[in-house]
């Protein structure tokens, strides 16, 4: 069996046809993890015994019954969601090391749909960062090149999917934490409309911007996971391209863009036009630069509040990573008046963006990240003659859709000359997940970047 070629939907068809048993499928994935994940560090906890037991029990049950659409399929869970019986670490050591009493509601939905949980997935500590260089559980490495980062904060989820250690995952996204690692690893990640997917049982970072959402290899797979998470079907094959107007805001979103990312995006826009979509690349996006600053004010204020007891504990403060602690301390220094002003500006910007942009366009296309995956020790990226901070280059195009709460999906749209994947972001109005899934799926079927063969995984660098 060629595990690297499997997707959620193709594996589901194999199980339904009786070509393979759940226990056999799960055994293949566990063997692959055991062979390679010492290098890639995608899991914080491998639930081997539970997964094997669950899969054996599913061998004797119906392979496809109503509501069991994930029957026997291997899923990983970002270690920020509660999974009954195991601790939730959020990638840190400062939280109580006690088993969760219950599944988070969305985890229960996956379990009830028949998913087999392989384990908890690594992440940037407390989800406050975009590199997944984790001082406690190891640095998540990019399967396309293990010398490069996988992005974050859902880096373990994206890398595990790309490496075929699992076929789908739950991620969280506060400033781009689903879409950034999806882009850097050539996978697909959807940040749904704020609040659409239940966040109970998820360790909070910023209550104004935390989103829960699915990650997988293809748009079709993400659509399948969304059906489970929301209880609503998403019809991805019936888009009328001629009735969908796509806007491309270049000002701000393309500033500092890497030449390969730019080239691939330009080609992607031509593909969308050939499919039949109307594409306008002269879109003005109001307050884009200011919106990112507003998000940071609110996010850091709320994050420092979420971890106030940790920051007040001298011993626990020392356990926090060297990049996370300064950010939390920065949030503590912000004034209540600054926070409230930022919340006011957020409401103004959201209404203006809805009125000025999404009254005219059905969807927007931007880069997901301005750069491909940086080297793990890289903190600045040279674009032309300009040096760009890696964190800024990775979050610049994603964070604004956390501020608005609008749905956005990241998907692969090509590769750099050195063989690293690049990503395209599609965003739309609130509760327009169906539309962006349809547009994304039509592009995916035409471009077929998800079919590109990854180099063989390594056991050492």
Q: Which residue among the candidates 78, 217, 346, 396 is catalytic per the annotation?
A: 78
Selected catalytic residue, list 153, 169, 391, 442 = 153
CB atoms within 10 A of CB 453: 8
- CB-based burial label for 379 (10 Å; 0-12, 13-18, 19+): exposed
CA distance 320 to 318: 6
**E-assigned strands of 271-420?**
278-280, 363-367, 380-383, 386-389, 408-415
309 is catalytic: no
> Tokens 């920065």 map to which residue?
330
Residue 351 appears among annotated catalytic residues: no
Q: Which two tokens stand for residue 244?
A: 């969908």
- Tokens 């940040």, residue? 191
Active site residue 78: yes
Q: How far is 453 from 412, CA to CA, in rounded Å? A: 13
- CA proximity to 8, closest of 227, 234, 216, 226: 216
Beta bridge partners of 45: 120
Return the structure tokens found at 170: 């739950």
Question: What string of DSSP letters covers 47-68?
Answer: -HHHHHHHHHHHHTS-SS-TT-
The token pair that represents 372 in the structure block: 């491909």
Q: Rounded to whole angstroms, how far apart are CA atoms 240 and 247?
A: 16
CA atoms within 13 A on the CB side of 311: 17
Q: What is the spatial distance between Cα 228 and Cα 282, in angstroms, rounded to a whole number?
A: 38
Kindly give, in sequence order, each residue whose CB lies less than 8 Å from that of residue 430, ignoring residues fewer than 6 positions away.
Answer: 193, 194, 405, 406, 407
Q: Which is catalytic among the residues 177, 208, 223, 306?
A: 177
- Give the catalytic positions in this structure: 78, 153, 177
């Amino acid at each position: 069996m060629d595990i690297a070629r499997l997707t959620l939907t193709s594996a589901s068809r194999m199980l339904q046809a009786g070509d393979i048993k759940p226990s056999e499928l799960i055994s293949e994935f566990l063997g692959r993890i055991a062979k390679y994940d010492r290098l890639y560090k995608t899991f914080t906890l491998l639930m081997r015994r539970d997964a094997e037991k669950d899969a054996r029990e599913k061998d004797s049950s119906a392979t496809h019954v109503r509501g069991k659409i994930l029957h026997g399929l291997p899923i990983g869970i970002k270690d920020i969601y509660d999974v009954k019986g195991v601790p939730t670490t959020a990638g840190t050591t400062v939280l109580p090391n006690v088993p969760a009493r219950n599944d988070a509601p969305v985890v229960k939905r996956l379990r009830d749909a028949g998913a087999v949980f392989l384990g908890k997935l690594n992440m940037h500590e407390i989800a406050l960062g975009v590199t997944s260089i984790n001082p406690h559980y190891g640095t998540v490495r990019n399967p396309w090149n293990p010398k490069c980062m996988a992005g974050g904060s859902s880096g373990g989820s994206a890398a595990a999917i790309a490496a075929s250690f699992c076929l789908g995952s739950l991620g969280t996204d506060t400033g781009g934490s689903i879409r950034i690692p999806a882009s850097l690893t050539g996978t697909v990640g959807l940040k749904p409309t704020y609040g659409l997917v239940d966040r109970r049982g998820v360790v909070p970072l910023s209550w104004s911007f935390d989103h829960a959402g699915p990650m997988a290899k293809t748009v079709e797979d993400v659509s399948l996971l969304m059906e489970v998470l929301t209880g609503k079907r998403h019809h991805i094959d019936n888009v009328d391209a001629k009735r969908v107007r796509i806007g491309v805001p270049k000002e701000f979103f393309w500033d500092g863009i890497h030449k390969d990312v730019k080239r691939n995006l330009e080609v992607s826009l031509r593909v969308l036009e050939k499919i039949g979509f109307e594409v306008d690349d002269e879109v003005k996006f109001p307050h884009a630069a200011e919106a990112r600053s507003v998000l940071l004010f609110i996010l850091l204020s709320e994050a420092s509040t979420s971890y106030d007891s940790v920051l007040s504990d001298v011993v626990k403060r020392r356990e926090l990573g060297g990049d996370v602690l300064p950010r939390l301390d920065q949030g503590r220094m912000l004034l209540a008046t600054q926070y409230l002003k930022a919340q006011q500006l957020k409401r103004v910007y959201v209404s203006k963006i809805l009125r000025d942009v999404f009254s005219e366009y059905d969807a927007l296309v931007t880069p997901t990240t301005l750069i491909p995956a940086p080297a793990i020790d890289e903190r600045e990226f040279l674009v032309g003659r300009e040096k760009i901070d890696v964190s800024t280059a990775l979050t610049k195009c994603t964070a604004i859709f956390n501020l608005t709460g609008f749905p956005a999906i990241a998907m692969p749209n090509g590769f750099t000359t050195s063989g690293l994947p690049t990503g395209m972001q599609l965003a739309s109005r609130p509760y327009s997940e169906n539309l962006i899934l349809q547009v994304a799926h039509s592009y995916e079927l035409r471009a077929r970047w998800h079919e590109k063969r990854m180099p063989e995984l390594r056991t050492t660098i």
